[in-house]
Each structure stands twice: as structure tokens, then as C-alpha cells.
Amino acid sequence: MSTVLQSLSTALADAVESAGRAVVAIHARRRIPASGVHWQPGVVVATNHTISRDENITLTLPDGTTAPASLAGRDPSTDLAILKLAGQSLPAASLRRDGPPKIGELVIALGRPGPSLTASWGVVSRADGPWRTWQGAEIDSLLRLDLAIYDGFSGGPLVDAGGRVLGINTSALARGVPVTIPVATVERIVAELLERGNIRRAYLGIGTQPVRVPESLARKLELESDLGLLIVSLESGGPADRDGLLLGDVLLELDGAAVNDPSDVLAKLGGDRVGKPLSARVIRGGQVKALQLTPGERPTSRAA
């Protein structure tokens, strides 16, 4: 009788079952285990915030057996972590690489907060271009979800109705709102973490706040924009401090581009900028001054 409804029901359960063969439980924090995805042979992708210890990490595999895993690297700025798993013949996830899903696409969030697989369903509520996390990492596309978050959600995969992985879910990158880190970003981070063990990011050691330059001063200095970034904190001995930036300077330009928002600074601080001088223009003592700022490599788990 109800044929389409039944086939949809079976198709969803099949998608869960097939994708679930690559979803593991990760025991690396107190109480409830988190989820992870067997991304490529021997490599499990998880979320950084759900791994609270570096050692003594075990996994519960889909067949219910337990296996030890070692932490191969973390990237707090994308909330991803990589674990290595040896000597298991677990199928790897089937990845969907043809770009992000569409708004309204039916999706399933899988988790394994223990021996059993769990799922919630919903739709992609937003699918936009690249965005930057508050710690400065670039994520290839913004995927927001309209679905229920539950224990084990973070680190689990978002899959399409065919069971193909669209990315890794986390509730820790956007104030508790569920987002998915897309496949393209995960692959980039996995490759770099496997090679180096951490993600290289440039930093200046400054804290800034947008300010409006008084109109008279802007006119006097012939500024194109009256917006700038007030230096409100300066890491002692950090890259910007060493290069002579002072508290109270108003940063106008970096690398030839106007900076109106702290994210404009982060945009200039990719991993390839470490040790390469950036030209800067600041207002100091009512005058415009040119400086050279050379970003250093950001120590792990520290803000921009």
C-alpha cells in the first residue's frame, strides 16, 4: 500500500547502516564517549573538544570490540583531531566530494556514544561560502543544520540520504549551534595533521578593537576610510611587540589592504605567512606611521 513511504524508510535505515560501519565511539573524556569517523584506512577523524586526554584513548568499533588508538594531532581552530588506529579491517567512510549539499537537502547526523549507533535527521538550513572560525581557521563552506543535537553528535558524520559523508559535525564552533565541517576542509586538515602533527598558523600577538577615527583627523591624514583597529592588547615579546607596534596604535592597513575588523587581520595570517614581513600603516600620535610586522608561528591553543 504505502510504497514510497516504506521505501523511504528502508532507504534511510540502509543509509544509516552503511555509513554507520565507519562510525566509532571514542573514549577520551569522562562520562559519555564521543563519536569519530574512520576517514581513511587507519585514520579516525574526531572533534578536538571531545578529546580531553592525549593518551589512553580507546575506540569502540561498530562490531562492539574495543581497540586502542593514538592521537596523531589536533587543530583547536577547526575543532578537529586525528587518531591513528592500527591493525583493524574497518571500512573507510564513503565521502561525497562534489561540493557542499543544498539548502533543504535531507541529511542524517550519526553518532556512536557507546556500542550502539544513533541518528537524528533534518535538513541543511544554510549552505554558504567560506567562513572563518573565531580562532582564525578557514572553513571551505558554512553548513548549518536544522536537526536535533544529542550525546555523541560531535565527531559524528553528516550523511546524505545515500549514506555518503558530507562532513564532520560539531556543536563547539558556533556557540552550540550545530555546524558541519565539510569534507574539503577535513581532508586538508587530515593531510596537514598527518604530515606535521599540528596546523601551522601565523600570528602577531595582538588584540584589536574596531574604532572610528575622528573625522577631523581622518581628513587631516587624508585617510580613505575612517575605520581602523585599536591595539588593545599586545603580547609581550610577541611578533608585533618585537616589531615596534605599541598599545594605542590604530592599525589602518596590513599587507596593502584596509583593516576594519579583527577578521581582516586573521585573513592575512595563513600558515604560509610565518616569517614573511607584512607592511602595516598605523596612526600613532596623530601621525600615520609605516611599519613592518613579521608574523611568528602561533603556539598551539592560543588566540590570534
Partner 1 sequence: MTDSMTADLAQEVAAAVNQLRHITVQLRTQGAATGAGILWNAAESDGREGGLVITNAHVVQGDRATIELSDGTAVRGRVVARDSKRDLAALEFEPGRAVVGAVVRDSPPLRVGELVIALGHPGGLAGAATLGIIHGAESEREGRTPRWIRADVRLAPGFSGGPLADATGRLVGVNTMMQGGLALAIPALAVEAWVRRAHTMALS
Q: Please count the residues of this chain forming the interface with partner 1, following the rule CB under 8 A.
A: 29
Q: For partner 1, which stretch binds (CB under 8 A), given 44-52, 112-120, 212-220, 233-241? A: 112-120
Distance (Å, rounded) from C-alpha 92 to C-alpha 164?
Answer: 11
Distance (Å, rounded) from C-alpha 98 to C-alpha 299?
Answer: 34
Q: For partner 1, which stretch binds (CB under 8 A), given 96-104, 144-152, 217-225, 234-242? A: 144-152
121 binds partner 1 (CB under 8 A): yes
Q: Which of 52, 65, 66, 116 binds partner 1 (CB under 8 A)?
A: 116
Between residues 35 and 78, which has the closer beta carbon with respect to partner 1?
35
9 binds partner 1 (CB under 8 A): yes
CB of 147 to partner 1, least distance (A): 8
117 binds partner 1 (CB under 8 A): yes
Contact 57, 83 (CB under 8 A): yes
Distance (Å, rounded) from C-alpha 6 to C-alpha 218?
Answer: 68
227-256 residues near partner 1, rule: CB under 8 A: none
149 binds partner 1 (CB under 8 A): yes
Cell numbers describing residue 254: 596590513
Element (H, E) at 44: strand 43-47
139 binds partner 1 (CB under 8 A): no
61 binds partner 1 (CB under 8 A): no
Please state, in angstroms and as integers, the Cα–Cα distance from residue 7 to each residue in 1, 11, 110, 122, 195, following that order. Answer: 11, 6, 20, 18, 44
2 binds partner 1 (CB under 8 A): yes
Q: Give the torsion sign (CA, 112, 121, 106, 101).
A: negative
Between residues 6 and 66, which has the closer beta carbon with respect to partner 1?
6
Question: Which of 39, 73, 75 minimizes the C-alpha distance to 57?
Answer: 73
Judged by DSSP in three states, 264 sits in helix
103 binds partner 1 (CB under 8 A): no
Phi then psi dihedrals of residue 224, to 5 deg: -75, -35
32 binds partner 1 (CB under 8 A): no
Between residues 17 and 215, which has the closer beta carbon with respect to partner 1?
17
Judged by DSSP in three states, 216 sits in helix
Q: For partner 1, which stretch binds (CB under 8 A), given 12-20, 68-76, 124-132, 283-291? A: 12-20
Residues that bind partner 1 (CB under 8 A): 1-6, 8-10, 12-17, 20, 108, 115-121, 147-151
